[in-house]
Chains A and B, each alone.
Chain A
Amino acid sequence: QVQLVESGGGVVQPGRSLRLSCAASGFTFSSYGMHWVRQAPGKGLEWVAVIYYDGSNKYYADSVKGRFTISRDNSKNTLYLQMNSLRAEDTAVYYCARDYRVVTAIMPHYWGQGTLVTVSS
């Protein structure tokens, strides 16, 4: 079955960097677009970024553009989110999610359990 396991969260000071990872299994990772979605404490879901199945295209929410970078290593079945210049408002649970169909990068389907990032001095 599809399994997504996020890691790399923790407490980080404002202005610093953090890299999240998402280990995928149970499906052909290299065939699916992958998303990052976050949820601030007590708030709703906010889409962060998407990467095509082959890494050829990447798109970002305006709130993170220029600070966050999504990438993937299909040989390791792993998705990444490099987060730079972190702000207090980036504090959230970060979920990785697989797209709903092969090749597309349109709609999150399967989700991991999330990793908490806390930006605080």
Chain B
Amino acid sequence: QSALTQPASVSGSPGQSITISCTGTSSDVGGYNYVSWYQQHPGKAPKLMIYEVSNRPSGVSNRFSGSKSGNTASLTISGLQAEDEADYYCNSYTSSSTVVFGGGTKLTVL
């Protein structure tokens, strides 16, 4: 049950786009389309932003998008806004019927 691999931090200016990667194995990210992404602001509970690789829950801005290639999933945020500054976590279902998170990525909006 090793954590998925994410960059520790990314940054971008308002209006720009950024991409956060999430690398796993064929037993998790690569084996299932059950990859999700969460946004967490300091002191708050996580919020689901993307599910099943590329689907957005109701109410989530279409500036957030997800994709997957092989064992790596990606979250892209376009048109960066100040309120996007937060921690982002990827998550995947695994072949052991468990769930695994990435280590988290801190997004800074410059």
Contacts and interface: CB of A to CB of B under 8 A. Distances in A.
B3 to A, nearest CB: 8
Q: Which of A100, A105, A107, A112 has the most CB of B within 10 A?
A: A107
A113 interface: yes
A108 B91 CA distance: 9
Nearest to A48: B99
A5 to B, nearest CB: 12
Contacts of A59: 96-98
Nearest to A105: B97
Interface residues of A, number: 25
B72 interface: no
Interface string B28-40: 0000001010101
B48 A108 contact: yes
Interface in B46-79: 46-48, 51-52, 57
B100 interface: yes
B45 interface: yes
A107 B91 contact: yes
Given A109-B48, A113-B45, A44 B89 contact: yes
Interface in A11-68: 35, 37, 44-47, 50, 57, 59-63
Contacts of A35: 99
A107 B34 contact: yes
A57 B97 contact: yes
Nearest to A114: B45
Contact of A47 (B45, B48, B99, B104): B99
A111 B57 CA distance: 14
B48 A106 contact: no
Contacts of B40: 45
Contact of A45 (B38, B48, B51, B93): B38
Interface of A: 35, 37, 44-47, 50, 57, 59-63, 95, 100, 105-114
Interface of B: 1, 3, 34, 36, 38, 40, 45-48, 51-52, 57, 87, 89, 91, 93, 96-104
